[in-house]
Amino acid sequence: MARTIRKSTTLLTTLAVASLLLSGCAAASGEPAPSPAAPSHTMPDGTVMSGAEHDAHGEDAAHEEHDAHETGTTDAQGPSEAARMVCEGQVVTSAAQIFDLEASAAPSSSWDSPMFACTYDVDGAPVVLTVHDVTDAAAGQEHFDALQQTLGAEDIEGMLGLGLPSFSTGDGMVAFLRDGKTLTVDATALPDGFGDGTRTQDEAAYVMASAVLTCWVEHD
């Protein structure tokens, strides 16, 4: 059975998405990866390796990259740019607007491959965004399906699903699957009638997820 989110959510989402489209979605603020250096036996920390040591180091790195590809995770490099976006740039600005947070308020994050988590403190109540950060579509779908079954959540109905596999628990947790990555927003800790006294936890989770998805689409 599909779940229907209140019609007011549609308006909230439209406003959030319009704001993002007008302002643009800033790229992740992390340090850019350095350009590949020319072949050399001098390591980045200044140590000099023999030819055999250098070759062995290169083989180990290649194995790590291959293993990450085989498992569909991004562990070799840490979380992907898409995952980091939930805790950086315009998404943070959108969260401040949605939850009426101070501009200086900074979310906290953690990485436990393949899960990246970002927590926003809304008047002492955590709103947690997680990304199951894999690149393999089959592995991503398997995780999404298992999570939905575990939570007993229902599909989000019609256009509110944004054309993506999605579900809602009805009490403040929503999830969307895009490009193998499962984005989950958990706003269940928010008090009833927070904000102006009329908004629900489910609406808050949905609008926050929509803000992230807008950034993901813009950075394709």
With respect to residue 18, please indicate whether it lies within any of the assigned structural domains: no
Domain hosting residue 119, numbered range: 2-6+79-218
CATH number, domain of 94, equals 3.40.1000
Number of structural domains (the chain) is 1
Q: In this structure, is residue 168 part of a structural domain?
A: yes
Domain presence at residue 163:
yes
Q: Has residue 70 been placed in a domain? A: no
Closest to 67 measured CA to CA, from 135, 115, 130: 135
| Tens-level pLDDT at each residue, the chain (220 residues) | 555 555 455 555 545 554 544 455 654 444 433 333 444 444 445 555 454 544 454 445 444 444 444 444 445 579 999 999 999 999 999 999 989 898 788 999 999 999 999 999 999 999 999 999 999 999 999 999 999 999 999 999 899 999 999 999 999 999 999 999 999 999 999 998 776 666 789 999 999 999 999 999 988 7
- Give the single-character DSSP code of 92: H
Please give the model's pTM, rounded to 2 decimal places. Answer: 0.72
Cα–Cα distances (Å) from 73 to 100, 133, 178, 205, in that order, read: 34, 6, 15, 26
Assess if residue 185 is contained within a domain: yes
Q: Residue 90 falls within a domain, yes or no?
A: yes
In a domain, 166, yes or no: yes
Q: Is residue 200 part of a domain?
A: yes
C-alpha to C-alpha distance for 215 and 83, rounded to whole angstroms: 11
